[in-house]
């Protein structure tokens, strides 16, 4: 079953975020058992050529590679899709027009306005027709809901054909409320409650980026009903592993 099928069926999928532009990181994470991995081009130094290498490694490991683009830009979306990404996660989608633009950037005419090029996705020109059919049926568009304006317009955003689901960006959403990082603040709780109510009404696939590498934080979002969950990111797993290991070592040394 493809990732697209799982999203359509609202099956729980768990992925993670890559911000370190090295193929070894992508390979290690791809073999860890995730359902998908996202190459982050918004909050990292990853360039398009590095992104293509990461996409290739994830793909060859049998996982669905996604890219979180830096902005809702048709040119950038076209390039990461041509590089072989299975879909995009688009930041700051705050209106119906934003959502329509994101979908149209992925799809060729007449469904969209993506320019036609021959690159890795099209098997370097050998199978454009096969890719075009795949793109129509299997490409993925996830919109990020990370501003209070997006919450206010969520119904119309989710009504756009071609939007496969949404993902909450907790830091930016709280920032738009003037309370960055205060996830338990009443205004943030209120916003998330509204998202949940609209998502249920629209029968939409709901996603959340759990920033903490803590497993319990992820379990909490599963209990809340989220189905498309990003669990932390590479640098936090690395940092957490280093700190916890060293803490345990020093504790044992002190006990001697």
β-partners of residue 209 are 230
Q: How does the average pLDDT of the chain come out, rounded?
A: 96
Structure tokens at 109: 């005419």
Strands (E), the chain: 13-18, 36-40, 64-68, 87-90, 140-145, 165-168, 206-210, 228-233
Q: Is residue 39 part of a domain?
A: yes
What is the predicted pLDDT for the residue at 256?
62
Number of domains in the chain: 1
Mean pLDDT, residues 181-194 taken together = 95
Q: Write the CATH number for 228.
A: 3.20.20.60
Write the pLDDT tens digit of every residue in 86-141.
999 999 999 999 999 999 999 999 999 999 999 999 999 999 999 999 999 999 99
Query: Tokens 């688009």 map to which residue?
Result: 90
* 178, part of any domain: no
pLDDT-derived band at 254 (thresholds 50, 70, 90) equals confident
**DSSP-derived secondary structure letter, 124:** G
Q: Residue 37: which of 12, 8, 61 has the closest Cα?
A: 61
**pLDDT above 90: residue 253:** no
Task: Say whether pLDDT at 37 is over 90.
Answer: yes
pLDDT at residue number 187: 96
For the annotated catalytic residues, the residue numbers are: 43
Hey, CA dihedral for 157, 75, 86, 24, is it positive or negative?
A: negative
Which one has a higher pLDDT value, 139 or 245?
139
Please check whether residue 194 lies inside any domain of the structure.
Answer: no
The pLDDT tens digits of the residues spanning 44-71 come to: 999 999 999 999 999 999 999 999 999 9
Q: Which domain holds residue 239?
A: 3-141+206-255
Assigned domain for 76 exists = yes
Q: Is the pLDDT of residue 255 over 80?
A: no
Stated as kind and residue range, the H or E segment containing 135 is helix 128-138
Distance (Å, whole) CA 147 – CA 150: 5
Cα–Cα distance measured from residue 19 to residue 17, given in angstroms and rounded to the nearest whole number: 7
Residue 90 domain flag: yes
With b for 16 or more beta-carbon neighbours within 10 A and e for fewer, the 45-62 pattern comes to ebeeebbbbbbbbbbebe
172 vs 209: CA distance, rounded Å = 11
**3-state SS, residue 42:** coil
């Amino acid at each position: 079953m493809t990732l697209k099928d799982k999203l359509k069926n609202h099956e729980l999928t768990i992925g993670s975020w890559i911000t370190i532009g090295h193929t070894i990181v992508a390979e290690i994470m791809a073999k860890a058992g995730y359902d998908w991995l996202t190459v982050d081009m918004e909050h990292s130094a990853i360039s398009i050529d590095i992104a293509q290498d990461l996409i290739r490694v994830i793909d060859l490991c049998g996982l669905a590679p996604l890219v979180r683009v830096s902005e809702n830009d048709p040119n950038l979306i076209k390039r990461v899709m041509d590089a072989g990404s299975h879909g995009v996660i688009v930041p700051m989608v705050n209106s119906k027009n934003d959502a329509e633009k994101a979908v149209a950037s992925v799809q060729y005419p007449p469904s969209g306005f993506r320019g036609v090029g021959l690159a890795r996705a099209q098997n370097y020109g050998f199978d454009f027709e096969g890719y075009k059919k795949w793109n129509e049926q299997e490409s993925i568009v996830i919109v990020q809901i990370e501003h209070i304006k997006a919450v206010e317009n969520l119904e119309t955003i989710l009504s756009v054909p071609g939007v496969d689901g949404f993902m909450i960006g907790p830091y930016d959403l709280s920032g738009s409320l003037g309370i960055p990082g205060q996830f338990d603040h009443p205004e943030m709780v209120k916003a998330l409650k509204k998202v949940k109510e609209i998502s249920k009404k629209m029968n939409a696939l709901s996603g959340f980026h759990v920033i903490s590498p803590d497993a319990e934080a992820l379990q909490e979002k599963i209990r809340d009903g989220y189905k498309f969950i990003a669990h932390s990111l590479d640098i936090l797993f690395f940092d957490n592993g280093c700190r916890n290991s060293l803490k345990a070592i020093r504790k044992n040394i002190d006990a001697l």
